[in-house]
Chain A
Amino acid sequence: MAHPDISWIAALNQLTAGFFLLCSFGLIAAAQVTGCIRFYVLQSLLLACSAVLLGIRDHSTDLFIAAGIYIAAKVILIPLLLKRTARQEMIARRELSQVIGVPSSLLIALGLTLVAYYIALPLTIHAGGGARTNLPIGLAAVLIAVYTITVRREALPQMLSLLAIENGAFFAGDAIAPAFPLIGELAGTFDVLMIVLVLGVLSTQVHRSLGNTAVGSLSQLGEE
């Protein structure tokens, strides 16, 4: 793997990883549904960029194909599907409410990033340069997305955070397991599309029956 041009690829990949993590923060802070969708699409695009960069470094055609799949499914198809299944007034909604305020949430997300580094760095002794960047960032993106689901109250931001977990997992996965068979990538993508379809329809049903999608305030059930 001793290529002369490897350093600028690694540097570019680190830059991509930084923006990737910023998108996770963006998903927490965005105040509108359209903002959430934009951050998700941007994050998916950066995921594809990282796959291409790692593909150039490792001469892996699998990663190029994976990047193509990401762009087709996550950058193009998912926003389209969202617009079809969810109602317009759900997407156009402004001023999302959160259980915990944005500044505190950003601080917590910062803490989660540190945790991710603490967990992932001992593992990277097994790995090459790409994984040293991608594994902690991917893990951080996963943890932040899990946190985002718990603080978001509306249906669509919760769903986009679910999809962002998948992004984080694959961001780490592309670097550590480039031999991950394409069938696995396809499985992940199929899963993401099914999530958008099923949850999109379900949130529309919730919207129809309740008049809004503040699923966080649903508390009719529960053991007394």
Chain B
Amino acid sequence: MLLVLTLLLPLLAIGITASPVPRTVAETTAVILAIGNVVIALVMAARLTGSGTLTTAPAWLSINSFGAITLLLETFGALTALLFSIGYLRIHAASNGHKRRYLIWLNLFFLALYAVPLLNEIAMVWLALTLTTLFSVFLVSFERTPAALEAGWKYAVLTILGAALALLGILLLYWALSLAGATDFTWNGLAGAAAKMPVRVVDLAFLLMLVGFGTKAALIPLHAWLPDAYSQAPFPVCAMLSILESVAIPYVILRILAGTQAVVGNHDRAWLLAFGLVSAGGAALLILQTHEYKRLFAYSTIENAGIILTAGAMNSVHVQQAAIWQMIAHGLTKPACFFAAGMVFMVMGKYRITEVRGLLGRSWSVGAVFMLAGLTLAGAPPFSLFLSELAILKTGLVGRQAWVFMLLAVFMIISFCGITYHLFRMVLGQAPAPAHEPPRTIPGSCRWALLLALAPVVLIGWFMPAALHHLIRQSAAALRGGAP
């Protein structure tokens, strides 16, 4: 029932936004429904600390503890992004109809995103991931300028291309499953039949899925669409795209890996490791040389997806726990960063790093909050990303593949230096001569969204709930055994 409700609430929000009620009513209901989604995800997470999975009667929908963590991050990100969007639209949308269309597409995007950890049939998970692209195309090109349309087109073509390759991978995986005698094409069926699947078919299937989903996650070198899409998309959409790339897609890839790891002699771990390391390293270098602060955060998303996949590819339960921990820490931090960046844009009106100077002098509160968000993202102590990166290095360096984690440590240090360098240049320094127009006031809902998004980032650095820790351990165990 809770699982169905999770998908019904965004549908309800779409219905209300599309109906001719006043816009403020539609916005308020959408926010209330988003809060409802967070509450439901929390209840499901609480129930899952007791048992392995929650399933509906015909096994269409099913969620395990790893899925519950994914859903929790998605719903929380969605709530804050929705809140921020309301204020953002007040400034940027041309007309009422334009605002409504934005809210409808945003909720459709949420719907597809929530469906990813809930669906049981692997082909349907693929469909949900593909729909996240199709529903977010108009969000990326929302501004309707030639540049935004160009970004939207590139984003759509490249990620649909990735989805089509992943589809071939899924078909090959089904072939491998049916050769192993399975009749059940769900996550459980995959775990059950994995040991008997022919290794060559599984290898090709996994590679196609990795390249396909990797294009959607903008893993390097498949990231061609990302700088453009992020520089054109509204800030809350960037936040949700980040959640998609660093939470939902690693969830799918790691679950597939959990299924195929039982096949003797497969190369899946090595491929995932290679993709993860190249992404983490390449993105760290891109962070150093970027000129826009929005792209800075976008590259940092790739870096973190790379770190999560690298650690997730390890054959060790402790490292995989640390990978999930990293996924949580980053999934909570990144939306806050994009919201803070959105406020910087509202105050300064510029995208380029070199054009933003002396933020503290221009607006004390925005400068401080941007500094805080940026430092948490860079991995400064005592915030959650610092702790999770430390956990990855601590558990990884004692393992057999210590060289991987030495490299990761180098990449983390590079990106720390890159982010803090750009950050200090923007926040400190001499403020330029005051512009002609007075700085725009920041809408209240944007402030609230940022505060709400920052709260868990700071809190979890100090205090880790026992239930969450339990859930992480359970998820890592599920990734090991394949079974829920």
Task: Tell whether, in the assembled complex, residue B291 and residue A126 are in contact, meaning their CB atoms are under 8 Å apart.
Answer: no
User: Complex formed: what's the CA distance from A203 to B154 in Å?
Assistant: 11
Q: Which residue of A lies closest to B175 (CB)?
A: A176
Interface string of A131-169 (1 = CB under 8 A from B): 000000011001000100100000100110010011011
State whether A180 and B174 are in contact (beta carbons under 8 Å apart), knowing that A126-B201, A187-B126, A190-B127 are contacts in the complex. Answer: yes
Q: Which 4 A-B pairs have the closest CB atoms?
A: A173-B171, A165-B164, A184-B123, A187-B127
Q: Residue of B at shortest CB range from A184?
A: B123
- With A158-B157, A162-B157, A202-B152 as known contacts, state yes or no: A210 contacts B146, CB within 8 Å: yes
Q: Is B171 in contact with A194, judged by CB distance below 8 angstroms?
A: no
Q: Contacts of A199 on B, CB cut-off 8 Å? A: 137, 156-157, 160
Tell me the bound Cα distance from A30 to B160 in angstroms: 22
- Cβ of A119 < 8 Å from any Cβ of B? yes
In the bound complex, do residue B126 and residue A206 qualify as a contact, i.e. CB atoms below 8 Å apart? no
Complex contact A218–B163 (CB within 8 A): no
CB under 8 Å from chain A, chain B span 127-182: 127, 130-131, 134, 137-138, 141, 144-147, 149-154, 156-157, 160-161, 163-165, 167-168, 170-172, 174-175, 178-179
A198 within 8 A of B: yes
Inter-subunit contact B147/A123 (CB<8 Å): no
Q: A179-B183, A205-B141 are in contact. Are A142 and B200 (CB under 8 A)?
A: no
- A224 contact set on B, CB distance < 8 A: 291
CB of B153 within 8 A of CB of A215, answer: yes
CB distance from B178 to the nearest CB of A (A): 5
**Complex contact A221–B167 (CB within 8 A):** no
A172 to B171, CA, bound (A): 8
Interface of B is mostly: helix
Selected contact of A187 from candidates B123, B141, B160, CB within 8 Å: B123
Query: Which residues of chain A are within 8 angstroms of B170 by Cβ–Cβ distance?
Result: 184
| Additional A-B contact list (17), CB under 8 Å, known A126-B198, A183-B123 | A123-B204, A126-B179, A142-B165, A169-B167, A169-B171, A173-B168, A173-B174, A184-B185, A187-B127, A199-B160, A202-B149, A202-B153, A206-B149, A209-B145, A210-B146, A218-B146, A218-B150
Kindly report which residue of chain B lies nearest to residue A138, judged by CB atoms. B168
Judging by beta carbons under 8 Å apart, are B290 and A166 in contact?
Answer: no
Give the complex CA separation of A223 and B431 in angstroms.
26
CA distance A127 to B231 in the complex (A): 47
Distance in angstroms between the alpha carbons of A43 and B312 in the assembled complex: 41
Number of interface residues of A (CB under 8 A): 50
Over the window 195-214 of chain A, the binary record of Cβ atoms lying under 8 Å from chain B Cβ atoms (1 yes, 0 no) is 10011011101100110000
- Chain B residues within 8 Å of A215, by CB: 150, 153-154, 157
Q: Which of B130, B153, B183, B295 contacts A206 (CB 8 A)?
A: B153
Asked whether any CB of chain B lies closer than 8 Å to the CB of A103, the reply is no
**A163 (CB) vs chain B CBs: closest residue:** B164
Residue pair A198, B123 in contact (C-beta under 8 Å): no
The answer to whether B124 has its CB under 8 Å from any CB of chain A is yes
In the complex, what residue of chain B is closest to A215 when comparing beta carbons? B153
Closest partner residue, chain B, to A168 (CB atom): B168
A220 at the interface (CB under 8 A from B): yes
Given known pairs A142-B164, A184-B123, the reply for A198 and B149 (CB within 8 Å) is: no
Complex Cα–Cα for A176 and B204 (A): 14
B227 at the interface (CB under 8 A from A): yes
The verdict on A122 contacting chain B, using a C-beta distance below 8 Å, is: yes
Residue of B nearest to A155 (CB): B153
Q: Which residues of A contact B232 (CB under 8 A)?
A: 221
Which of B146, B161, B185 makes the CB contact (< 8 A) with A181?
A: B185
Chain B contacts of A222 at CB under 8 A?
227-228
Q: Say yes or no: is A110 at the interface (Cβ < 8 Å to chain B).
A: no
Say how far B440's CB is from chain A's closest CB, in angstroms: 25
Alpha-carbon separation in the docked complex, A223 to B296 (Å): 12
CB distance from B39 to the nearest CB of A (A): 30
**Shortest beta-carbon distance from B135 to chain A in Å:** 8
CB distance from B294 to the nearest CB of A (A): 12
Contacts of B126 in A (CB 8 A): 187
A175 smallest CB distance to B (angstroms): 9
The 25 sampled A-B contact pairs (Cβ below 8 Å) are A122-B200, A149-B157, A155-B153, A169-B171, A172-B171, A176-B171, A177-B171, A177-B175, A180-B171, A181-B121, A194-B131, A198-B138, A202-B137, A202-B138, A202-B141, A203-B153, A205-B149, A218-B146, A218-B154, A220-B146, A220-B150, A221-B147, A223-B289, A223-B295, A224-B291
Residues of B within 8 A of A58 (CB): none
**Shortest distance in angstroms between A54's beta carbon and chain B's nearest beta carbon?**
14
The verdict on A223 contacting B291 (CB below 8 Å), with A162-B160, A181-B123 known, is: yes
Q: Name the residue in B168, B174, B175 with the highest tally of chain A Cβ atoms < 10 Å from its Cβ.
A: B175
Interface centre among A142, A159, A176 (most CB of B within 10 A): A176
Distance (whole angstroms) from the CB of B4 to the closest CB of chain A: 17
Q: How distant is A170 from chain B, measured CB to nearest CB, in Å?
A: 8
Q: How far is the CB of A113 from chain B (nearest CB, A)?
A: 16
Tell whether, in the assembled complex, residue B127 and residue A177 are in contact, meaning their CB atoms are under 8 Å apart.
Answer: no
> Which residues of chain A are within 8 angstroms of B124 by Cβ–Cβ distance?
183, 187
- Measured between beta carbons, the chain B residues less than 8 angstroms from A172 are 168, 171
A162 touches B130 (CB 8 A): no
Task: Find out whether the CB atom of B137 lies under 8 angstroms from the CB atom of A221.
Answer: no
CB of B151 within 8 A of CB of A221, answer yes
Chain B, 273-297, CB within 8 A of any chain A CB: 289-291, 295
User: In the complex, how many angstroms separate the beta carbon of B418 from the nearest chain A beta carbon?
Assistant: 14
Alpha-carbon separation in the docked complex, A170 to B170 (Å): 11
Contacts of B147 in A (CB 8 A): 220-221
Bound form: Cα–Cα A162–B170 in Å: 17
Interface pair B130/A191, CB less than 8 Å apart: yes
- Pick from B200, B201, B231: contact of A221, CB under 8 Å: B231
Tell me the complex Cα distance, A56–B123, Å: 25
Q: A209 and B149: CB pair below 8 A?
A: yes
Instruction: Give chain B nearest CB distance to A219 CB in angstroms.
Output: 8
Are A218 and B153 in contact, CB atoms less than 8 angstroms apart? yes
Is the beta-carbon distance between A221 and B127 smaller than 8 angstroms?
A: no
B134 touches A194 (CB 8 A): yes
CA distance A115 to B171 in the complex (A): 19
Q: In chain A, what residue has the closest Cβ to B147?
A: A220
Residue pair A221, B228 in contact (C-beta under 8 Å): yes
A26 in contact (CB, < 8 A): no
A188 at the interface (CB under 8 A from B): yes
Please state if A195 and B165 are interface contacts (CB–CB under 8 Å): no
